[in-house]
Amino acid sequence: ALTPGGSETLDALEPPARALLLLGTEGPGLPESLMARARRVRIAMAPGFDSLNVATAGAIALHHLAGRRFSS
């Protein structure tokens, strides 16, 4: 799950063979019942940037995951 409080960054993530990308609504995010079971990942951003909207964050994550998968 993408979250600003993720313990690892997306660029350091070695995606598993099978993955599910969870994207919640902007603001409330995903329910805690899902977050409790999810691997929490954040997108590293330059200082001064506060957040990304969910569409942009999802596009960045999918690009990263697909790029890693197809470059192997």
In a domain, 31, yes or no: yes
> What is the total count of domains within the chain?
1
Domain holding 15, by residue range, is: 8-71
In a domain, 56, yes or no: yes
Model pLDDT for residues 49-72, shown as the tens digit of each residue: 878 889 999 999 999 888 765 655
Hey, is 18 helix, strand or coil?
coil
In a domain, 1, yes or no: no
How do 41-42 and 8-9 pair as beta strands?
parallel
What is the model's pTM? Answer: 0.78
Please, what's the b/e burial string for 32-53 (b: 16 or more CB within 10 A of its CB; e: otherwise)?
A: eeeeeeeeebbbeeeeeeeebe
Model pLDDT for residues 21-48, shown as the tens digit of each residue: 888 888 888 999 999 999 899 999 988 8
Domain CATH number, residue 13? 3.40.1280.10
39: nearest Cα among 21, 59, 64: 21
In a domain, 54, yes or no: yes
